[in-house]
Structure 1
Amino acid sequence: MTDPQRAKRPVTALAGPYGHPLHPILVTVPIGTWVASLVFDLASHVVGEPAFLVRASLWLIALGVVGALAAAVFGFLDYWAIPPGTPAFRTARVHLVLNLAVTAAYGVSWAWRAGLASAPVGAGQIALSAVSLAALAVSGFLGGKLAYRYGVRVADETTQAEGFRP
């Protein structure tokens, strides 16, 4: 049997201190920017001058890709702490692959849009964003499973109990 405590400890100080990993806070950047980009894409169809929304969406996608790559660095550090061959490791691998696929899809989306000037965002580009966000939601569910069910990079119960002492 593998030691579940291994996945609670950072493999290096760069991953964040014990009980406070950096990966979960960094994922808020791509999630927020990509959701906002889809909102801007849709809004580009209801305003008279959509150019500012199209440009903003392009910037949000780029910022999300950069943020996702930064989050991935710290996610890899957490991944290496999980014992191979375990359900947690398999879940983490699917989470990792989905996130890389979503990041690649947004990279493609950025390149596809780079030449747009002022026309509303196309239906295909909106569909790609919607499908990518759906995949990101599945991946986020798996990330939650890693933390809340398997306790990856979460402090052990003895440490958690400190917060409930009178």
Structure 2
Amino acid sequence: MRIGICPGSFDPVTNGHIDIFERGSKLVDKLIVAVFENPTKKPLFTMDEREEMLRETTRHISNIEVVSFDGLLNQYAKERGATVIIRGLRALSDFEYEFQRALLMKKVEPDIETVFIMTNNKYSYVSSTGIRELACFGGKLDDLVPAYVENRLQTKFADKY
């Protein structure tokens, strides 16, 4: 069985993420969407909330498992038997960052491949950071996040409206 991991903080999950999951899930038998805590960011949603939103918004993808983890991705991938890391790219700046990470992963785990999937043009400007900012100030989130996530964001920022 070919197992892939698509790691990220997903705070919150966007339609761009969902697009990468849908396309990435076709490359492997099982795609693990792995939520982790980014130590350089202060999350809006808890780990449990992010997992729950991911489960709800990926129900239509039969070969996805949503989990959370902490520690090193390479160790987690080995524990789960994953041989592929799937990463979405929006812009050249994403590529530079992800390319360096992929090279480091290859150095420490030569048997794990990193696969980059280019975002769909309609999501190239969508980021979780931008979504949080829009939601904080009551901006329109149509076509940027799944409806379920939009509702969760509106609830989170209800006292600001």
Fold match (TM-score > 0.5)? no
Ranked by relative contact order (alpha carbons within 8 Å, sequence separation 6 or more), the top structure is 1
TM-score, normalisation: structure 1: 0.28
TM-score, normalisation: structure 2: 0.29
Structure with the largest fraction of helix = 1
Between structure 1 and structure 2, the one with the greater Rg is: 1
